[in-house]
Structure 1
């Protein structure tokens, strides 16, 4: 069976983030409920209605039809208004904060359930309405009023009113910039927790138990000259890689596979997805199975591409710092969430690039995203915008200091030091007021002391409010 899990998961992500999937499920459920309750009405009869006084007005076919018609007409009208409000809010938010945020709104369960509730209530009332019969329409069988189903319509109507009240609150809340930034930031932290470390088999060298002393444990000689290129058969962004399937394929066919593209990379038709060695074992069928381990599409997603969420926050911050918007406090909020992600990453073990099978043989080489690359993605992309604003520059240096308090690896500290020095140089060139440049130099000096190990994080926090809070 070909390894198609990556494409299945990608298709599932696309479907469940659409505006039609949940409303469609709710409409099907409403249709089943309408058929079930009308069937139950036929079995139970109408005698029980006499004991419920508030149902007396609806015991006649005319009253039942009026009620169901009113509810159905109201629901489809409210659904149209709701859809218009949703589209208007999406257009505003994506135009103001960035088009990439459209994915977040499409993923919003509140909007999907709201639309689904109104559509389901409308469909339910229509299906129940067609079962109502008066005596002269019954062909001698007698009139029929589905009282249980009408109670169900009443319950759905009350639920729709509650959902509409929720929606009126949810729309302005969802486009509030602080909530937008926090939503992306929480998604980034969740992705960080689930993807790092992400292991393919056993990381490092080998398992000692069951190790084959003759196993290939390093890249074969002449690998890049002899390996077969397994190329993409379409163009788009890599959205997912089934790492376990690649390891299983390489083990089953005794291959060494080097992955050329990570989630988030763009590939064109003919670009190499992997290099596989030895080439004589890479048949067309094996190549097709390897290709099926990758999923790509027209846009990036966050399922395996943590950098996509970083880019979303960077885009919001960059727009906020543009001369036309001039909102440094939104940029500061983005920097706070980005630094939270970097703090989380600093405490995690990044996966090794090499993966081995049970016998210790090298099977997959897949270069992971490093901490330094994340630091580069955050600060290098934002630097041209940050250095032109005193407040944003000072806060960017503060976040570097906060992250520095969590790192222990020398290479991680060096990556942070390079960004701090670049921020100082950029701000020195961009800021025109001497007092602003002096503030930046002082903040950079404190952060540099921390990065160099000349002062501990808590000691610096006790001396100044640069890191560690202001209390």
Structure 2
């Protein structure tokens, strides 16, 4: 790309926040001028008036629409401003340009502004005093109605897009997509190493959110093959990274297999129970470490749900990762968490951080004691290890810990009739 073209492209990307909406407004002006010219040349009744309404009704509709479009444009710009402020505070002030360069947001703003201008011009050409029965520029009004319908559809899509864009994954994707586009534009690709036909790679980057286990098993059965997943549900997979391999090394229909492995920009609760633990742990950790205002009560509530989920998991059979067809032949091997992995996901981080908070440490001890009492013998060692870590870290922080389901409020040291015994134990 020449220097002049590079400079022009940079200026276009930098100034496109106002350039795209202005182009949309200009297109709206051209559209209304052309529509009025068609009405003037071919007559004002080219479109049947029954579907448009009376001149008075058309004036009311277009006037209301113009007013609404102006208000909507203002709201959209306000949402954009708030989104930029949120992103600056929570993530990075350097993310602003990427957000402002969002084409879909700019097109939505431009459509709303163009529709406002179109309706303002169109309503002025409706004459309810003309004889006989008034005059309605039918083509112009019909096109205005279509713009209003399009604006409603775009509004719903924009609300969805704005909500998705303000998520953590959405903001990261904005920067990541821009980075990937720049890499593709600036650096020529060399010949890649020859791929093993028995390995299926990812066509795009993303997080593995759903596996069609039944479909993969059936695919392997028909091919008289065995498949092994190289990634687990919840794993991020870069583009062209291996997803799955044939156990026999025979070529695999990559396109068919990719359709059975869904990638998205963030993890989902569907098929990924560990993600629920991850969210609860995140809430608890942020509540404990939210300087300068710690919020241990919120952390205790998060531990409540971690406790409940872990207790239910105690009695469940965990998947082996080996999936068989109807004949009992192993056709698919997937990566699954074992019991120690589930306990680590639920407690490893929060025990390390929560031991510094008396309320959270007491609630964690109550949870671990209950899980130890309820869990089968074979599943107690992982829980005992977390309990020992909690007591050791709390001791290092100079905190004496007794189990308390409320964090502070139901422990043996603060309740009756066992209060005296509990306080004595605490003092000892």
Q: Shared topology, TM-score over 0.5? A: yes
CA distance in 2 between counterparts of 1:362 and 1:46 reads 68
Corresponding residue for residue 289 of structure 2 = 322
1:43 and 2:24 are equivalent in the alignment: no
Partner of 2:243: 273
- Given the superposition, is the C-alpha separation of residues 408 and 67 from structure 1 closer, same or farther in structure 2, using an over 3 Å criterion? closer
Aligned to 1:409: 376
Q: Does 1:380 align with 2:327?
A: no
8 Å CA contact 1:230–1:291 kept in 2: the answer is no
2:41 is the counterpart of 1:71: no
Pair 1:255 & 2:230 matched: no
Instruction: Give the corresponding residue for 2:212.
Output: 242
Q: Counterpart of 2:21?
A: none
- For residue 230 of structure 1, report the CA deviation from its aligned partner: 1.5
Q: How does 1:91-130 map to 2 (within 5 A)?
A: none
2:34 alignment counterpart: none
Kindly indicate whether the alpha-carbon contact (under 8 Å) linking 1:231 and 1:269 is maintained by their aligned counterparts in 2: no
**Change in CA separation of 1:328 and 1:143 when aligned onto 2, cut-off 3 Å:** same
How far does residue 354 in structure 1 lie from its aligned partner after superposition?
2.0
Q: How far has the Cα of 1:233 moved from its partner?
A: 4.5
Q: Deviation of residue 301 (structure 1)?
A: 4.3
The alignment partner of 1:239 has SS state of strand
CA distance in 2, matches of 1:66, 1:395: 61
| Cα pair 2:368 2:383 within 8 Å, conserved | yes
Contact map agreement 2:69 2:113 (CA 8 A) in 1: yes
Higher deviation after alignment, 333-342 or 230-239: 230-239
Distance apart, 1:59 and its partner CA: 5.5
**Contact residue 62 and residue 119 of structure 2 kept, 8 A:** no
What is the deviation of 1:46? 5.7
Tell me what 1:311 maps to.
Answer: 278
Q: 1:242 Cα shift?
A: 2.5
Mapped partners of 2:339, 2:220: distance in 1: 28
1:319-468 counterparts in 2 under 5 A?
Answer: 319-322=286-289, 324-325=291-292, 326-404=294-372, 407-429=374-396, 431-432=397-398, 436-437=399-400, 440=401, 442-443=402-403
Inter-partner Cα distance in structure 2 for 1:271 and 1:60:
58
Cα 1:350–1:142 shift into 2, 3 Å: same
RCO (CA 8 Å, sep 6+): is it higher in 1 or 2? 1
Task: After superposing the two structures, state which structure 1 stretch, 419-428 or 270-279, moved more.
Answer: 270-279
User: Does the CA-based 8 Å contact 1:300-1:308 persist in structure 2?
Assistant: yes
Structure 1 residue 251, shift from structure 2 partner: 0.6
Partner of 1:143: 135
Deviation at 1:85, TM superposition (A): 3.2
Alignment correspondent of 2:80: 83
How far 1:247 moved relative to its partner?
Answer: 0.6
Residues 92 and 398 of structure 1: CA distance in aligned 2, closer, same or farther (over 3 Å): farther
Question: CA separation of 1:75/1:380 partners in 2, compared to 1, >3 Å: closer, same or farther?
Answer: same
Between the aligned partners of 2:134 and 2:221, the Cα distance in structure 1 is 72
Measure, in 1, the Cα distance between the counterparts of 2:345 and 2:89: 27
Contact 1:64–1:145 at 8 Å: present in 2 too? no
Q: How does 1:210-225 map to 2 (within 5 A)?
A: none
Question: Which position in structure 2 is the counterpart of 1:230?
Answer: 199
Residues 145 and 346 (structure 1), Cα distance of their counterparts in 2 relative to 1, 3 Å cut: farther
Structure-2 change in CA distance of 1:363 and 1:145 (3 Å): same
1:427-463 superposed Cα distances (whole Å, 9 cap, x missing partner): 112x22xxx32xx1x439xxxxxxxxxxxxxxxx999
User: Do the aligned partners of 2:70 and 2:112 also contact (CA within 8 Å) in 1?
Assistant: no
- For the aligned residues, what is the CA RMSD? 5.0
Whether 1:134 and 2:126 are equivalent positions in the alignment is yes
CA–CA distance in 1 between the matches of 2:314 and 2:235? 24
Q: Contact (CA 8 Å) 1:135, 1:143: kept in 2 or not?
A: yes
CA change 1:245–1:422 in 2 (3 A) is: same
Asked whether the 8 Å contact 1:255–1:278 carries over to 2, the reply is: yes
Tell me the distance in 2 between the aligned counterparts of 1:317 and 1:368.
Answer: 25
Q: CA deviation at 1:250?
A: 0.8
Are positions 1:264 and 2:234 aligned together? Answer: yes
Matched residue count: 304
With structure 1 as the length reference, what TM-score do the two structures score?
0.51
Cα 1:86–1:347 change in 2 (3 A) is: farther
Consecutive unaligned residues in structure 2, runs of 5 or more: 1-45, 96-107, 168-195, 405-414, 423-428
After TM superposition, the structure 1 stretch with the greater mean CA deviation from structure 2, 381-390 or 313-322, is 313-322
Report the alpha carbon displacement of residue 252 of structure 1 after superposing the two structures with TM.
0.5
Shift of 1:398: 1.8
